[in-house]
A and B are shown apart, each in its own frame.
Chain A
Amino acid sequence: MTATTERPAGGAAPAGARPGAERHRKRLRPAQLLAPLSLAAIVVTFGVLSENFLTGSNLQVVLASSALLALAAVAMTVVVRAGGIDLSVGVAVDLGAYGAAALVAAGYVPWVAVVGGLLCALVVGAVNAVLVTVVGIRPFLATLAVWLIGSSAQQLLTGGGAPIYLSRGETPDGFRVLGGGQVLGLDVPVAAALVGALVVAAVLGGTVWGRVLTAAGDQPSATRIAGGAAGSTVASAYLLAALVAGLAGVLLASKSSGFVPFSGQLYVLDAIGAVFIGATLSRTGRTSVVGSLVGVLIFTLLSNGMNLVALSAFWQDLARGLVLLAVLVAAAVLARRAR
């Protein structure tokens, strides 16, 4: 090729810099501040309203009560990032708890109970993965079906929904410590949630798998053409999510000394809310572990604060709904203004 197309690199425009040469500085968009600001607003509000709110012991309570929701939200983060949604995350929590409690009740050693619980939860992930990536059912519908079936399964497994109780005597210390012990000054569930969140964050952000997962969640066909294994990666996202949710289930079984059917369902909607609040932290609306944890803190601090000021439970869902709505509506309005 003889064409010698010398192009002046920048500075060629007579007056001022060429637009193309300037770096897109990593400027924060106002919308990205919404979730942190809401968090701060909640802290300040209840700090003023209740003198017990900003105390060390209360914050410890908050952390302890947010650990399981945090794990559920981390699980949800993975699936949403892969372009899906997991309505069956509560079923995975429940099956994890059921497996662990049933095995402990049957006299197995703690580690067998833990592994057994996680395996039970993985069944949920495997079914989701097959339905979504092999059969090709939309994630919302596939996990909805799994949720319904899983709820029924719990009834059948427990003879019509009878809880399993683990008496102090028959529970080995090694299992009790999971829900009630401490490591490094943290409750074990809090520590477990932190470790789980760190691992998932590292895997999502620092591995090829996470890169492919993120791309496949946005544009599966572009990902496949780019050489990424979109299908198997998305499938493994459901497995990872179930594993993390199962961990929450095992901790729950230990914490509550047994298994109460449907207790995992409590986390599903809050986890979804937390994940989408967290997504506003990113300039492209991408879900992230950090964002989801911010969302979880918003929800838990809000509930805790409302309890402290003795707001009736009837108002609490309304308040949470309004906060969720406020963040998302504000984010949408800001996005429109930024055109």
Chain B
Amino acid sequence: MAAEVAPRVSLTGVRKSFGAVRVLDDVSLVVAPGEVVALVGENGAGKSTLIKVLTGFHRADTAVLEVDGRPASVASARDAEALGIRVVHQDRHLAGRLSVAEQLYLGRDEGGRGGLVHRRELVRRAERDLAASVGLHVRGDALVDDLTVAEQQLLQVARAVLTRPRVLVLDEPTASLAAAEAALLFDAVRRLAAEGVAVVYISHYLQEVGDLADRVLVLRNGRTAGEVSLRSAESDDDGGRVAGAERHALLDRVVELMVGHQVAGLGEREQRRPGGEPLLAVDGLTAPGAFTDLSLRVLPGEVVGVTGLIGSGVEALADAVTTGGTARGAGGRVGLGGRRVRSRRSFARAGGAHVPAQRRRDGIVVRATVRENIGLTATGQVSRWGLLLPRRERAVAERWVERTDVRPADPEALAGSLSGGNQQKVVLAKWLARGSRLFVLDQPTAGVDVASREQLYARIEEQVDDGAGVLLITTDLEELVGLADRVLVLHRGALVAELPRAELGVERLLAISSGQRAGRQGQEVPA
């Protein structure tokens, strides 16, 4: 980058406290036109807060903002948009009753000649725009609420991209995307960067960061821990970014800056020997528009992984299983510990735990405290004869907050005020506290930082070693390979493969789930 070019956006000296807690302390974010800066850090480091200062959602205690070298100020999202700053937030708030087309063009004058919006035309336009900008194929007149988390995520990105932003901020856009979908998103980001848009990219996936970013800004406990440039003077390919071992070393350095020490990855582990009567027995399960006639078993002490791309039906699996296939148009039979699942409540009562993909809507009650959230689920542990036992509840909450490393480790914090990754830890904590026997985990570590992820895996494995079963539904293939004893792959609403642990591999799973090696079930299932 030429030195004389003013940064596209320069936000410096940011300080921000919530009450007595200082969340950002003299942090700066400077991005040049066409540059992709990755913003990384542990859960609760302050990434999302920094972005919300940039959009005027949070009022910083101190901050200096310049756009293209000119002083600017934002007091609201509207101000930010006027400056061309577009953000896809981590906790997305989509208006559920709108259609996809309406959501896509919300707040913009589109399609209307003389104020009249031609609905059908608009719907078709939306479908074209979505396909072209982020490779998303959904009906333009579908309700936003009916989209999967991944589709909603892409819709949000498309919405931001289509406004021709000057600064684009993506806060964990790929947390629930499969690799192939994420790749489309990366293409979109690269295109925009090539057009001169300044991009800020927040992610816990360092692989992505390495693929995409020119520079990595590391936050730690609300301060700047350091910066790592991924550009090199020598290399010309890939836009002059470092590659190979050199990049690897730089990313290791990023992790060190993030957590203050080195992190071991998912290690080798012993082959588990699950056995006994199946904990979870799913027979002929059908979810309308998602998959048909699906059967699977989870044994005590077993982790069964399920994966698939958008449209494979995998996103509807957790709901179908935990409601026992009783939704309208659904069918089939789900048995848990020998009892038939007829409702969410009977699922929970039979020892089932459900960690849903939409954590802010379904996973936690945002206006309740962490303690109340845990108590709501672990009722058996914290009450007798329907009466809450305050001391017990407090003790249970403290114990699980500590064991899952929720930060701040304060059971009285409002669940909604926690950082995204920490909210996710609460969702898992409450089911662990309940002593569930079967865990249906839908993207359980979405938005959870590298080190905390290890910790959650350890907690899950403890349960499994203790005889619990896990149905792990995730698009994170490394997670599957590291954790699962068996992996089922869905493609276009059908089970296309079942791989035992010995045959698991990221490449292989990727190929099968994208349909490249999608044979019939028999082909992949060893006799």
Contact = CB atoms under 8 A, between A and B. Distances in A.
B59 A339 contact: yes
A218 B264 contact: no
B289 interface: no
B451 A20 contact: no
Interface in A211-244: 211-212, 214-215, 218-219, 221-229
A227 B58 contact: no
B218 to A, nearest CB: 13
Given A8-B260, A339-B57, A1 B408 contact: no
Interface in A263-312: 283-286
Contacts of B44: 19-20
Contacts of B365: 215, 218-219, 222-223, 226
Contacts of A106: none
B364 A222 contact: yes
A2 interface: yes
A19 B260 contact: no
A276 to B, nearest CB: 16
B106 interface: no
Nearest to B225: A13
A60 B361 CA distance: 47
Interface in A1-47: 1-8, 12-13, 16, 18-27
A23 B413 CA distance: 8
A208 B379 CA distance: 7
Contacts of B349: 227
Of the four ranges (under 10, 10 to 19, 20 to 34, 35 or more), the interface on chain B belongs to 35 or more
Given A218-B367, A229-B345, A212 B410 contact: no
Nearest to B19: A27
A24 B267 contact: no
Contact of A21 (B46, B383, B409): B409
A206 interface: yes
A224 B19 CA distance: 33
Contact of A206 (B46, B267, B388, B410): B388
Contacts of A224: 344-345
A219 B361 contact: yes
Given A207-B387, A211-B376, A222-B362, A7 B408 contact: no
A339 B17 CA distance: 10
B21 A24 contact: yes
Given A3-B266, A215-B365, A24 B408 contact: yes
24 contacts: A1-B267, A2-B264, A2-B267, A2-B268, A3-B263, A5-B451, A5-B455, A7-B451, A8-B260, A12-B260, A24-B21, A25-B20, A207-B386, A211-B379, A218-B367, A221-B361, A224-B344, A225-B322, A226-B430, A227-B344, A227-B348, A227-B349, A284-B367, A284-B368
Interface of B: 19-23, 25, 44, 46, 57-59, 220-223, 259-261, 263-269, 322, 344-345, 347-349, 354, 356, 361-368, 372-373, 375-377, 379, 383, 386-388, 390, 405, 407-410, 412-414, 417, 430, 434, 451, 454-455, 457-458, 461
